[in-house]
Chains A and B, each alone.
Chain A
Amino acid sequence: MRTVLRIFLISLLFLAGCEGAWNDPYGETGRRGMTLYSSFTERPKHLDPVQSYTEDEARFTQQIYEPLLQYHYLKRPYELIPLTTLEVPKAREIEGGKTTVYDIRIRPGVMYQPHPAFVSGNHSLERSRVEKLKSPYDLPLGTRELVADDYIYQIKRLAHPHLLSPIGGHMSNYIVGLADFSKKIRSFDKGDWLDLRQIPLEGVERIDSHSFRIKVRGSYPQFVYWLAMPFFAPVPWEAEKFFAQPGMAEKNFTLDWWPVGTGAYMLTENNPNSRMVLERNPNYRGEPYPSEGEAGDGESGLLADAGKTMPFIDRVVFSREKEAIPYWNKFLQGYYDSSGIGSDQFDQAVRMSIEGDVGVTPEMEERGIRLSTSVATSIGYVAFNWDDPVVGGPSERTRKLRQALSIAFDVEEQINIFGNGRGIAAQGPVAPGIFGYREGREGINPVVYDWIDGKPQRKSIEAARRLLAEAGYPNGRDARTGQPLVLYLDTVTRGPGDKAAFDWYRRQFEKLAIQLEIRATDWNRFQEKIRKGATQLFRLGWNADYPDPENFLFLLYGPQGRAKSQGENASNYVNAEYDALFERMKNMSNSPERQKIIDRMVEIARRDAPWIWGTHPKEYSLRHAWLSNDKPNNMARNNIKYLKVDGKKRAELRAQWNKPVLWPIGLIVLALALSAFPAVLSYRKRERMAARPAA
């Protein structure tokens, strides 16, 4: 015990010698410049823009890589604006509408971050030299200007046989010649670096050094949204050649782990197990902070930096936090600048007034912590498998059964119990903030809700029972056989913690005297069941790729049926009128006519009720008083360049909140010393004994 104490005391002395608070996990007191401290839970799988498709990865890639377009940071509804282009490209139909052409002009003078790939001497390194490198940045660095060829190179990479881009198959349906290009390059593939510059791609044409043309098959207005994703970020051929050298992969020096971009930041420390560090790209051209936003942005200070050159922050430190408790405590200690709110911390962080207004608790208020909320462009729902004979199909019997269940399933209660009120009940497939979504009375789902006293009111359970009886299941029994109705819900389980949610699900169905069997399984088996159509009801969700109603309405488009074509329509819903309207709607630009079609589609879907329209989650995030310009944006992830940190204020508050408390150490030492006292007495007594007592 003494040894432990000694080590502990030595460690304390060591800590005492450190600058700043003892519990400061960064040890960066005195560092100059503005640093943002953030965290990540899952280590990113891919940082190559051709493969990266998750939010965990986007928070890194979108600070480094610059696609052609970006979303306006402040304006809502979401608006596409140029990033490296001079303007948002306009679609131009040719060949009688068989092909759509996008002419893209890149901004001149955009420079890449410093990188060894731009030094030609670094392209023929000895293996022994590579083995000695600790970081690619140990080599001489260079840069060059962004050119159209870099975008063309990346589009070709979508079809690369070894890169396996998740959207490669999807884009092959649209970009002219990409499918053939994919087949063609296999004959060139020798296993080493494949110089894609040498292989032409029919649908992507270089006009000049800063302009190129993309040809898309037919009309695909949503294509422009893809141009704002990292899949369409530039990749210099030099980077691929550099990382293809012998010995690089063994050191984990790959383009997948060491991005090379033109963005505001560059990745300088890459340890996905512990810490990732982004630093300001010294070659970044600078971009003015937006001067316009939506109503209220000015009042909330979001326009205070209008016109100033971004980025404001010099360095971003992402620390890996796998567990919620340490993460939350570090946020409270001021070691993270912003934070989400876990269910366990909700009551500590948020208070809700009787009127339903949300705000932070006095404890948070005292620390100057502020709350932001936004409704996510996503939806979580319970789907009915359209191919199932009991709950699926277009018959009146199954439709009324689905409608009855939609009424009985109290989404509002679910949000309150399991989401701490963080969400809004969905009225259809389209999420708020997306064109086509309607608010108020005209936006409610009349199958499930009535409009009473200026708000939607869920229909009574009696209405659901009537529908159930009309469906042929009076009192939850099949009128033809007299057998009780038993339904099966497939879902993914995360462990015993899900029991409460499953019990709640059962209770919703019991309202109609329907027995619900929950078939909880792991993610793989669950997905397999959906792929095979071997489900009856199941829970699923969708997170929008881009802010267009097509990205939600296609989830119910017949030809996208999961069981038949492995598409995104997991419920396998089919309705000829809906499909025909979707075909028309998807190619239209936002207009009253498009809205009319969407209204009709939503009406059809509500009536057929292939889903129990679940929840649009509401995201709550907290930020410290020293962080400004933070506005939730569900589409853009390149938000760090807009943020600003008052480092002085942060340092003061951190020091104030984290003063070491030393008296308990003295108390522990004293307690140990006192506890040793009886032992010493007893020892002395024994040693003085003349003889041991007889046993």
Chain B
Amino acid sequence: MLAYIVRRVLYAIPILVGVNLITFLLFFIVNTPDDMARMQLGTKRVTPDAIEKWKTDHGYDQPLLWNAKEKSLTKTIFFEKSVRLFVFDFGAAEDGRDIANEIATRMWPSLALAIPVFLVGLAVNITFAMLMAFFRASYLDFWGVVLCVAMMSISALFYIIGGQYVASKVWHLVPISGYDAGLGAVKFLVLPALIGVVAGIGSGGRWYRTLFLEEMSRDYVRTARAKGLAESAVLFRHVLKNAMIPILTGAVVVIPLLFMGSLLSESFFGIPGLGSYTIDAIQAQDFAVVRSMVFIGSLLYIAGLLLTDLSYTLVDPRIKLE
């Protein structure tokens, strides 16, 4: 297994270089270093000299990918800005704030929202899906599926705005938006977490129902029933266990990405997490932050895939990683 992990880690390096290159190209197709300087310095009374100074000061006075003058690949913006990422030196944002410090600070609000949504959402979706599977082909199953389709069809934004309107504006139960450190965060997280869970029931419930129904059509289920096991025992003791592989595929891969936060929820609920950090950076054309966040996102995604593979060996003894 160790050899497998090492191999996968080594595969990750060219992937990360590739992702970094694509991010770089996409960013600089729409932004030039001059644009970035103007964005930081403003548009009023900015002289060409000030722009040149900004570029020099921030390391954007080099060619983008190939330094023809020096005949060098290393004396370029791409190389100088990218190579540090691989030792997790994210440097400073274009406004001067230390990116590593920002990430370390903003990671916690993101996790504080994402973990409850993930765990409670998973439990709710599986429970709901099992109920539908249990009552398959009945009117309860039918209306459950209808409800799921209806919930899937509603935009996440509607859940957020509707939730804020009802729970906070009309019923005055929780603050509309904001955040506080420590236990004080609870009252700000109740609503976005609940909305996150409810918004995911439609797609999650349908997906897990399909998995359970597929498992329920297998021979071992027929055997279990023939043995006279109660339907609930068949479902919880056998079907659930065997449906774990596809559940894990979907669930484990997203665990590392929980760090990255939610772009929409964080923005609407004023949660100072990494999702809103990324959005802010894109809007402010802050390449240093965009590059760092894409790098971390890719890294976490690769880690998620690796964790998923490893988790297969835990739930299915037939799988061996070589």
- A→B interface (CB under 8 Å): 1, 3-4, 7-8, 11-12, 14-15, 18, 21-25, 27, 43, 45-46, 53-54, 161-162, 164, 166-170, 249-252, 254, 256-257, 271, 273-275, 319-323, 325-327, 329-330, 332-333, 335, 522, 524, 527-528, 545, 566, 568, 658-662, 664-665, 678-679, 682-683, 686-687, 692
Contacts and interface: CB of A to CB of B under 8 A. Distances in A.
B161 A22 contact: no
Given A21-B172, A325-B164, A524-B31, A250 B98 contact: yes
A8 B194 contact: yes
A686 B102 CA distance: 56
A53 B42 contact: yes
Contacts of A25: 175-178, 188
Given A15-B173, A524-B35, A686-B231, A249 B98 contact: yes
A419 to B, nearest CB: 22
A43 B280 contact: yes
Given A25-B178, A273-B277, A524 B30 contact: yes
Nearest to B166: A664
B177 A326 contact: yes
A661 B42 contact: no
A53 B38 CA distance: 13
Contacts of A164: 41, 50, 53-54, 57
A45 B96 CA distance: 9
B190 A8 contact: yes
Interface of B: 30-32, 35, 38-50, 53-54, 57, 92, 95-98, 100-102, 105-106, 116, 120, 123-124, 127-128, 131, 134-135, 138, 140, 161, 164-165, 168-180, 184, 186-188, 190, 193-194, 197, 225, 230-232, 267-270, 272, 276-277, 280, 284-285
A326 B270 CA distance: 9
A8 B53 CA distance: 54
A169 B47 contact: yes
Nearest to A691: B225
Given A11-B186, A166-B42, A687-B231, A329 B174 contact: no
A326 B173 contact: no
A252 B92 CA distance: 9
Contact of B172 (A3, A23, A45, A274): A23
B57 A321 contact: no
Contacts of B284: 45
A528 to B, nearest CB: 8
B140 A27 contact: no
B130 to A, nearest CB: 12
A524 B102 CA distance: 27
Contacts of A686: 231
Given A25-B177, A164-B53, A687-B231, A1 B186 contact: no
Contacts of A257: 96-97
Given A166-B46, A524-B31, 16 more contacts: A14-B186, A14-B187, A23-B176, A27-B187, A166-B44, A251-B98, A252-B101, A273-B102, A273-B277, A274-B272, A323-B267, A326-B269, A330-B177, A527-B43, A682-B140, A687-B230
9 contacts: A14-B186, A22-B187, A170-B47, A256-B95, A321-B177, A524-B39, A566-B47, A566-B48, A661-B172
A54 B45 CA distance: 12
Contact of A169 (B50, B168, B179, B272): B50
A326 B164 contact: yes
Given A249-B98, A273-B277, A660 B30 contact: no
Chain B CB within 10 Å — which of A23, A54, A320, A568 has the most?
A23
A226 to B, nearest CB: 11
A15 B187 contact: yes
B40 A45 contact: yes
B38 A527 contact: yes
Nearest to A22: B173
Nearest to B187: A15
B190 A320 contact: no
A326 B176 CA distance: 6
A23 B168 contact: yes
A139 B39 CA distance: 35
A1 B128 contact: yes
B50 A168 contact: yes
Contact of A54 (B42, B135, B190, B230): B42
A191 to B, nearest CB: 11
B225 A3 contact: no
Given A257-B97, A678-B140, A658 B172 contact: yes
A323 B172 contact: no
Contacts of A524: 30-32, 35, 38-39, 285
B231 A1 contact: no
Contacts of A327: 177
Contact of B135 (A23, A323, A326, A682): A682
A548 to B, nearest CB: 15
Nearest to A692: B225
A682 B138 contact: yes
Contacts of B270: 274, 319-322, 326
Nearest to B116: A7
B140 A679 contact: yes
B179 A274 contact: yes
**Closest A-B pairs by Cβ, 5 of them:** A273-B272, A169-B47, A25-B178, A25-B175, A274-B272
A320 B272 contact: yes
B169 A169 contact: no
A634 to B, nearest CB: 16
Contacts of A682: 135, 138, 140
Chain B CB within 10 Å — which of A252, A566, A692 has the most?
A252
A52 B165 CA distance: 37
A295 B281 CA distance: 46
Contacts of B171: 660-662, 664
A273 B106 contact: yes
Contacts of B100: 250
Contact of A273 (B42, B175, B176, B276): B276
Contact of B120 (A4, A162, A528): A4
A4 B164 contact: no
A27 B164 contact: no
A325 B57 CA distance: 39
B31 to A, nearest CB: 6
A23 B175 contact: yes
Given A23-B175, A45-B40, A326-B268, A249 B92 contact: yes
A45 B97 CA distance: 9
A524 B187 CA distance: 41
Contacts of B127: 1
A166 B231 contact: no
Contacts of A687: 230-232
Contact of B45 (A169, A275, A658, A692): A169
B180 A256 contact: no
A45 B177 contact: no
Contact of A166 (B50, B95, B138, B186): B50
B201 to A, nearest CB: 9
Contacts of A321: 177, 270
Chain A CB within 10 Å — which of B97, B170, B270 has the most?
B270
A170 B31 contact: no
B97 A659 contact: no
Chain A CB within 10 Å — which of B161, B165, B172 has the most?
B172
B179 A11 contact: no
Contacts of A333: 169, 172, 176
Given A164-B53, A273-B106, A329 B120 contact: no
Contacts of B174: 15, 22-23
A47 to B, nearest CB: 10
A22 B164 CA distance: 14
B140 A4 contact: no
Given A53-B42, A169-B49, A323 B268 contact: yes
Chain A CB within 10 Å — which of B96, B180, B194, B232 has the most?
B96
A4 B119 CA distance: 10
Contacts of A46: 95-96
Contacts of B57: 161-162, 164
